[in-house]
Structure 1
Amino acid sequence: MNVVAVQKMIKLCRDFKHLEALVHVSTAYSNCDLTHIEETVYKPAVEPQKIIDVLEWMDDSMVEMFTKKLLKDKPNTYTYTKQLAEWILLTEGAGLPIAIVRPSIVGATWKEPFPGWIDNYNGPSGLAIATGKGLLRSMRGECSSLADIVPVDIPINVMIAVAWYTAVARPRQLMVYHTTTGSVNPFTWGEMENEVVNSFKRTPLDSCFRRPKLIMTSNSYMHDYLLVISHLIPAYMADFAYRMMGQKPRMVKIYRKLHRSLETLSFFTCNSWTWSNNNLDVLKHQLSPDDLKVFYFDARPLHWPTYMENYCLGAKKYLLNEDLASVPAARAHLRKLRNIRYVFNTVIAVVLWRTLIARSQIARNLWYLIVSLVFKFVRYFRITSTM
């Protein structure tokens, strides 16, 4: 889809007698093996046509081995094939009025059609909902890394403006436009984690599995430990309960799917990139003040806490179809989950402590010391209060 379809589109456009503009949507991560990415098309290590020809006769096992060698420092075939597509546009599309728009991680809307609108679970949306439901408790990432999320209405407006400018100005070379937020309005993964958790605590989702809580860590060993403690053990316990009630177990399956998503995203949450955006600045100065109000794409005025609040509300309303009238009941459910956790933790602590006292003389001596100190404190408090 990402490579051959582009070739066919170029061939089709060559037959158009009055082609005004061809705008291709790529990704800001098409060259993510670099730390700083310019507004230019980078040449891939292998010509796209050679890869297409080789894939025609390879079986699945050979393709899998071949893919690993091709990707090198790229995390997946999506970013790799997007780079190939850009090179095809530059070489095979020479002479056509082509422009490339590279958005980063696309999220819910900022303003239009209304704040927080979203219609799919792609990108951060699915992870935000998993956090709100209490399913996602640990995520591998660097809290200080930039979460380069861009509201979907911004790249849409850029695409419209780019199509107009390409048709009117007819640039002599293929223009690349980065649609990112990190360089103009930085927002980190740690800040996003905090905003999502707090938002879902204020306006919780219905039927949460646990209270919203997320730990982001760059330590892979700590992350693996948290996956077992916070994900897998509760999942197996829940599935056991489902079987006891005669229902079909599902939590382990859900967590396996969630872990695959986390593994895919970890490359982007553990690293940061910078992008040049000179072409976008030039485009901005080509639009009139009235057009800039309608086709806004400057992310500087974006207030991230408000945006994330609307994002979480939008996920609740438009993805999960949950009524905001059910929020009081959802909050009551969270309080119930909190009380259950307190009771469970207390029982575990008492059992462990009693086990230690029964088997360790040091633990018994420590327990007697604590009790005697408490007794002395209460006695002292009573004497001083009667004086």
Structure 2
Amino acid sequence: MDGVGEQSRDGPLRLTDITADRSMSSVPDYYAGKNILITGATGFMGKVLVEKLLRSCPEVKALYILVRPKAGQSMQQRVSDMMKCKLFDRVREDDPDFHQKIIPISSELTQPGLAISPEDVEKLSGCINIVFHCAATIRFDEPLKHALQLNVIATQQLLSLAQQMQHLQAFIHISTAYANCNRKHIDEVIYPPPVEPKKLIDSLEWMDEGIVRDITPRLIGDRPNTYTYTKALAEYVVQQEQGKLSIGIIRPSIVGASWQEPFPGWIDNFNGPSGVFIAAGKGILRTMRANNDAVADLIPVDVVINLTLAAGWYTAVHKPKTALVYNCTTGGINPFHWGEIEHHVMSSFKRNPLEQAFRRPNANITSNYLMYQYWILVSHKFPAFIYDLFLRLSGQKPQMMRIFNRLHKAIGLLEYFSSQDWEWNSDNMSMLMGQLTPEDRKTFNFDVRQLNWPVYIENYCIGTKKYVLNEDMSDIPAARQHLRKLRNIRYTFNTLLVVFIWRVFIARSQMARNIWYFVVSLCFKFLSYFRASSSLTK
């Protein structure tokens, strides 16, 4: 074999050296034969991570996933249901027995030691090579004590477990680009925490929920919610272990539907922009307070996962002395604005409408508070009141006002992120891309410069229809017919409203009557002219 007998600077070059070098340079080759622990594997990003590993690193040995048994559903049932998901269709075609590589471990993040049995702790300590920590609560309005338990204390306990792992090569923590959203320019560094995590945990331990709720605004300070606050604390907790573990931290911005893999537009939840898009497509959401010119820092989920796997490889192979942070964002590289998103979402849902829409998709974005309140009243609350009144009169339970109240709460939580801009440094992301082979850059593509936003938004909207609402694309003609029906109802209602206003409130004066008759006669003349022109063309 060429080169086997050649001399290197350190002596004879051996076949094992060549094999090792090859495994170090290729991401799939590195993951071959590795045992991986994944937290949050049944969540949105976790599922995509599991699927990508199985599909693009087919020689991976085993994926150990921490799973919380739910009431009425065993751990095995949860994993079985996850693997039946359409997301795994491509993996299923390549390897029908892929499920044998997935090993569930019973765990509960809110319990001491993550509620992992001593037998499982021993098993994991003896075999795990890489940890991907994806689990977190992503609720913006999570009570502080619970958010602290899930995002900070659970991370501490996982780090303690990681230190017992004899063959661990990398610990990758999924954070958020908004952990430091109280800053306008965010570098790829871990900033000092707003408070020492241990002191906060010890202080809150004896307090009841009421006291914690009262002091939460003062604790989180200039951060908008408990999510960003506790994720900042978790980064600091992870950083404290960089002398003992090889650590990488991924900071994605607003994670949305897939861009390319395993197929465009895959999404399985109402979180973040997905719920807003669906509400707009259904005609429920008609206005949103945001800055049209602000950058909407959406990041496709497959971009985040590709970067995560590449970072896992780099961290394990190169073993950086300090934890490397990767700002996984689009705003500074390929910006797209909220006004542009609104335009493309509306256009997409008019071409590919959702079934049984409440009204035609026609949302608008405004940054003006008074205009926003006006549209809320006119386009949300008034129609909801009329619809609920109709339901009451027909003997049904009113529901629309309740739906709108929930919607207003949801978009209110997003308002902070849709009304301003941030600048993220992405040097580490660029560095990592340069470390990959040309083949790996294609397989684990996280180059967002290639992202075509209009096409992505179109696929995103179609994805909400197909995968979240489980609507059949063959029913689009019927959905379009329903939109035409809604348009006709709207035109009829508006016409009757104008007639009512003129006849009741304005037509009492002679001048108003004269204007009324003039407008009506003008309309008749226009119709007569149109009819005559049509007959002449025939």
Instruction: Mark yes or no: TM-score above 0.5.
Output: yes
- Asked if 1:120 is matched to 2:308, the reply is no
Tell me: CA distance 1:233–1:378, structure 2 relative to 1, closer, same or farther (3 Å): closer
Tell me: CA distance 1:378–1:203, structure 2 relative to 1, closer, same or farther (3 Å): closer
User: Corresponding residue for 1:98?
Assistant: 247
Q: Shift of the alpha carbon at 1:235?
A: 1.1
Q: Which runs of 5 or more residues in structure 1 are unaligned?
A: none
Q: Shift of the alpha carbon at 1:220?
A: 1.2
Q: 2:526 & 2:480 partners in 1: Cα distance?
A: 39
Contact 1:102-1:179 within 8 A present in 2 as well: yes
User: Corresponding residue for 1:201?
Assistant: 350
User: Corresponding residue for 1:250?
Assistant: 399
1:4-60 Cα deviation digits (max 9, x unpaired): 011101111111122100000000000001111000001123111111111111122
Q: Shift of the alpha carbon at 1:373?
A: 7.4
1:252 alignment partner AA: M
2:152 alignment partner AA: V
Q: 1:116 & 1:150 partners in 2: Cα distance?
A: 12
Equivalent residues in 2 for 1:32-111 (5 A)?
Answer: 32-111=181-260
Q: 1:278 & 1:285 partners in 2: Cα distance?
A: 11
2:235 alignment partner AA: E
Equivalent residues in 2 for 1:1-387 (5 A)?
Answer: 1-367=150-516
Contact 2:507-2:516 within 8 A present in 1 as well: no
Tell me: CA distance 1:374–1:84, structure 2 relative to 1, closer, same or farther (3 Å): closer
Moved more, 359-368 or 199-208: 359-368
1:171 alignment partner AA: P
Moved more, 223-232 or 199-208: 223-232
Q: 2:480 & 2:525 partners in 1: Cα distance?
A: 41
Q: Shift of the alpha carbon at 1:308?
A: 0.8
Contact 2:163-2:244 within 8 A present in 1 as well: no
2:473 alignment partner AA: L
Q: Shift of the alpha carbon at 1:359?
A: 3.4
Identity of aligned residues (%): 54
Tell me: CA distance 1:61–1:213, structure 2 relative to 1, closer, same or farther (3 Å): same
Q: 1:155 & 1:203 partners in 2: Cα distance?
A: 27
1:45 alignment partner AA: P
2:208 alignment partner AA: D
1:8 alignment partner AA: Q
Q: 1:353 & 1:305 partners in 2: Cα distance?
A: 43
Secondary structure, aligned partner of 1:300 = helix
Q: 2:526 & 2:439 partners in 1: Cα distance?
A: 73
2:283 alignment partner AA: G
> How much is the aligned-residue C-alpha RMSD, in angstroms?
2.0
User: Corresponding residue for 2:32?
Assistant: none
Contact 2:277-2:461 within 8 A present in 1 as well: yes
2:173 alignment partner AA: H
Q: Which runs of 5 or more residues in structure 2 are unaligned?
A: 1-149, 531-535
Q: 2:404 & 2:243 partners in 1: Cα distance?
A: 47
Q: Shift of the alpha carbon at 1:377?
A: 9.5
With structure 2 as the length reference, what TM-score do the two structures score? 0.68
Q: 1:362 & 1:355 partners in 2: Cα distance?
A: 14
Secondary structure, aligned partner of 1:216 = strand
Q: 1:379 & 1:243 partners in 2: Cα distance?
A: 44
Q: 2:394 & 2:362 partners in 1: Cα distance?
A: 28
Moved more, 64-73 or 171-180: 64-73
2:322 alignment partner AA: Q
Q: Shift of the alpha carbon at 1:122?
A: 1.1
Tell me: CA distance 1:172–1:343, structure 2 relative to 1, closer, same or farther (3 Å): same
Q: 2:283 & 2:518 partners in 1: Cα distance?
A: 39
Contact 2:242-2:321 within 8 A present in 1 as well: no
Contact 2:242-2:323 within 8 A present in 1 as well: no
Contact 2:194-2:233 within 8 A present in 1 as well: no
Q: 1:380 & 1:140 partners in 2: Cα distance?
A: 44
Tell me: CA distance 1:348–1:99, structure 2 relative to 1, closer, same or farther (3 Å): same
Contact 1:196-1:309 within 8 A present in 2 as well: yes
User: Corresponding residue for 2:49?
Assistant: none
Secondary structure, aligned partner of 1:94 = coil
Q: 1:309 & 1:169 partners in 2: Cα distance?
A: 39
Tell me: CA distance 1:164–1:375, structure 2 relative to 1, closer, same or farther (3 Å): closer
1:301-334 Cα deviation digits (max 9, x unpaired): 1111111111111111111111111111100000
1:283 alignment partner AA: L
Contact 2:243-2:321 within 8 A present in 1 as well: no
2:159 alignment partner AA: I
Secondary structure, aligned partner of 1:100 = strand
Tell me: CA distance 1:374–1:188, structure 2 relative to 1, closer, same or farther (3 Å): closer
Q: 1:376 & 1:167 partners in 2: Cα distance?
A: 80
Higher relative contact order by CA 8 Å / sep ≥ 6: 1 or 2?
A: 1
1:203-253 Cα deviation digits (max 9, x unpaired): 101000000011100011111111111111111211222222222221111
Q: Shift of the alpha carbon at 1:376?
A: 9.7
Q: 1:263 & 1:189 partners in 2: Cα distance?
A: 15
Q: Shift of the alpha carbon at 1:380?
A: 12
Moved more, 33-42 or 237-246: 237-246
Moved more, 66-75 or 268-277: 66-75
Contact 1:356-1:363 within 8 A present in 2 as well: no
Tell me: CA distance 1:379–1:80, structure 2 relative to 1, closer, same or farther (3 Å): closer
2:209 alignment partner AA: D
Contact 1:133-1:208 within 8 A present in 2 as well: yes
Secondary structure, aligned partner of 1:257 = helix
1:111-136 Cα deviation digits (max 9, x unpaired): 11100111111111111010000000
Tell me: CA distance 1:373–1:181, structure 2 relative to 1, closer, same or farther (3 Å): closer
